[in-house]
Structure 1
Amino acid sequence: MTQQYAERATAAALRGARNADLRDLVTILEDHRNRKLDVVTSASALSFRDGNVQVEGIERQITQEGVTDVDGTYRPTAVADEGIADKLKIPVGYLRRMRAENVPLLDENVNAWLHQDPQRKFMLRALRGDSGPGMQPAVGVARALMSDSYKVMDNLDILLAALDGVQKSGHPTNVTGCDLTDRRMYVRVESEAVAVMAPELLSGYRSPFDGRSGDELPIVSAGFVITNSEVGAGAWSVTPRVVMRVCTNGLTMPMDVMRAVHIGAKHDEGVVSWSEETERKELAVITSKTADAVRTFLSREYVEAKLREIQTAAGKPVAEPTKTIEHVTKTLKIGNETKETILAHFIRGGQITAGGVMQAVTSTAQTLTDADQAAALEALALPALTAAAAHG
Structure 2
Amino acid sequence: MVSSLLTPTRARSSERNLRNADLPDLVVRLDSQQRRKVDVVAPASAIRAQGGMLVVEEAERRISASGVTSVAGAYEPTGVCESGIAEKLGVPLVYLRRMRAEAPHLYDANVNEWLGRDGRKFLVRALSSGDGGVGQARAFLSNGYKIIDNFDVLTAVLDGVRQAGVHVDIKSCDLSDQRMYVRLTAPEICGYAPYLLRNYRSPYSGRTGAENPTVFAGLVISNSETGCGSLSMTPQLTVQVCDNGVTMTKDVVRAVHLGAKLDEGRVQWSEDTQRKTLAVYTAQARDTVRRFLDRDYVEASIREIEKVSGAPVADVEETIKSVSKTLRFTEEQRKGIFDHFIRGGDLTAGGVLHAVTSYAQAVPDPDDAHELGALGIRAMELAAA
State the Cα distance separating 1:370 from its structure 2 match. Answer: 0.2
Name the SS for the 1:47 alignment partner: strand
Range moving further from structure 2, 96-105 or 258-267: 96-105
The reply on whether 1:201 has 2:201 as its aligned counterpart is no
Name the aligned partner's letter for residue 79 of structure 1.
V
Match of 1:127 in 2: 127
Name the SS for the 2:328 alignment partner: coil
The 1-side partners of 2:102 and 2:50 are apart by 15
Name the SS for the 2:232 alignment partner: strand
Name the aligned partner's letter for residue 284 of structure 1.
A
Match of 1:300 in 2: 295
Given the superposition, is the C-alpha separation of residues 370 and 112 from structure 1 closer, same or farther in structure 2, using an over 3 Å criterion? Answer: same
The reply on whether 1:289 has 2:290 as its aligned counterpart is no
State the Cα distance separating 1:130 from its structure 2 match. Answer: 2.4
The reply on whether 1:55 has 2:56 as its aligned counterpart is yes
Name the SS for the 2:171 alignment partner: strand
Name the SS for the 1:62 alignment partner: strand
- Structure 1 stretches of 4+ moved >6 Å: none
The 1-side partners of 2:97 and 2:165 are apart by 48
Match of 1:5 in 2: none
The reply on whether 1:45 has 2:41 as its aligned counterpart is no
Match of 1:93 in 2: 94
Match of 2:216 in 1: 221
TM-score (norm 2): 0.94
Name the aligned partner's letter for residue 170 of structure 1.
G
- Do the aligned residues in 1 keep the contact of 2:39 with 2:124 (CA within 8 Å)? yes
State the Cα distance separating 1:70 from its structure 2 match. Answer: 4.7
- Do the aligned residues in 2 keep the contact of 1:16 with 1:28 (CA within 8 Å)? no
Name the SS for the 1:246 alignment partner: coil
Match of 1:336 in 2: 331
Given the superposition, is the C-alpha separation of residues 57 and 375 from structure 1 closer, same or farther in structure 2, using an over 3 Å criterion? Answer: closer
Name the aligned partner's letter for residue 104 of structure 1.
H
Name the aligned partner's letter for residue 116 of structure 1.
R
Match of 1:367 in 2: 362
Name the aligned partner's letter for residue 24 of structure 2.
R
Gaps of 5+ in 1: 1-12, 132-136
RMSD, aligned CA: 1.4
The 2-side partners of 1:274 and 1:64 are apart by 14
State the Cα distance separating 1:61 from its structure 2 match. Answer: 3.5
Range moving further from structure 2, 93-102 or 196-205: 93-102
Alignment of 1:1-12 (within 5 A): none
Name the SS for the 1:100 alignment partner: helix
Alignment of 1:251-270 (within 5 A): 251-270=246-265
- Do the aligned residues in 2 keep the contact of 1:206 with 1:214 (CA within 8 Å)? yes
State the Cα distance separating 1:57 from its structure 2 match. Answer: 5.9
Name the aligned partner's letter for residue 164 of structure 1.
D
The reply on whether 1:346 has 2:341 as its aligned counterpart is yes
The 2-side partners of 1:67 and 1:253 are apart by 49
State the Cα distance separating 1:316 from its structure 2 match. Answer: 0.2
State the Cα distance separating 1:54 from its structure 2 match. Answer: 1.5
- Do the aligned residues in 1 keep the contact of 2:40 with 2:59 (CA within 8 Å)? no
How many pairs are equivalent? 372
Name the aligned partner's letter for residue 352 of structure 2.
V
The 2-side partners of 1:64 and 1:224 are apart by 38
State the Cα distance separating 1:100 from its structure 2 match. Answer: 2.8
The 2-side partners of 1:37 and 1:183 are apart by 17
Name the SS for the 1:367 alignment partner: coil
Given the superposition, is the C-alpha separation of residues 59 and 17 from structure 1 closer, same or farther in structure 2, using an over 3 Å criterion? Answer: closer
The 2-side partners of 1:58 and 1:29 are apart by 21
The 2-side partners of 1:230 and 1:181 are apart by 10
Cα displacement string for residues 4-29 of structure 1 (whole angstroms, at most 9, x for unaligned residues): xxxxxxxxx85221000000100000
Range moving further from structure 2, 58-67 or 168-177: 58-67
Gaps of 5+ in 2: 1-13
Match of 1:115 in 2: 116
Match of 1:6 in 2: none
The 2-side partners of 1:368 and 1:205 are apart by 21
- Relative CO higher for 1 or 2, CA cutoff 8 Å, sep ≥ 6? 2
The 2-side partners of 1:359 and 1:101 are apart by 44
The 2-side partners of 1:335 and 1:58 are apart by 40
The 2-side partners of 1:274 and 1:333 are apart by 41
Given the superposition, is the C-alpha separation of residues 176 and 314 from structure 1 closer, same or farther in structure 2, using an over 3 Å criterion? Answer: same
Given the superposition, is the C-alpha separation of residues 316 and 34 from structure 1 closer, same or farther in structure 2, using an over 3 Å criterion? Answer: same
Identity of aligned residues (%): 52
The 1-side partners of 2:305 and 2:110 are apart by 51
- Do the aligned residues in 2 keep the contact of 1:195 with 1:219 (CA within 8 Å)? yes
Range moving further from structure 2, 83-92 or 53-62: 53-62
The 2-side partners of 1:296 and 1:247 are apart by 25
Given the superposition, is the C-alpha separation of residues 313 and 214 from structure 1 closer, same or farther in structure 2, using an over 3 Å criterion? Answer: same
Name the aligned partner's letter for residue 124 of structure 2.
L
- Do the aligned residues in 1 keep the contact of 2:160 with 2:283 (CA within 8 Å)? yes
TM-score (norm 1): 0.92
The 2-side partners of 1:43 and 1:222 are apart by 47
The 2-side partners of 1:19 and 1:138 are apart by 30
The 1-side partners of 2:65 and 2:192 are apart by 53
State the Cα distance separating 1:99 from its structure 2 match. Answer: 2.4
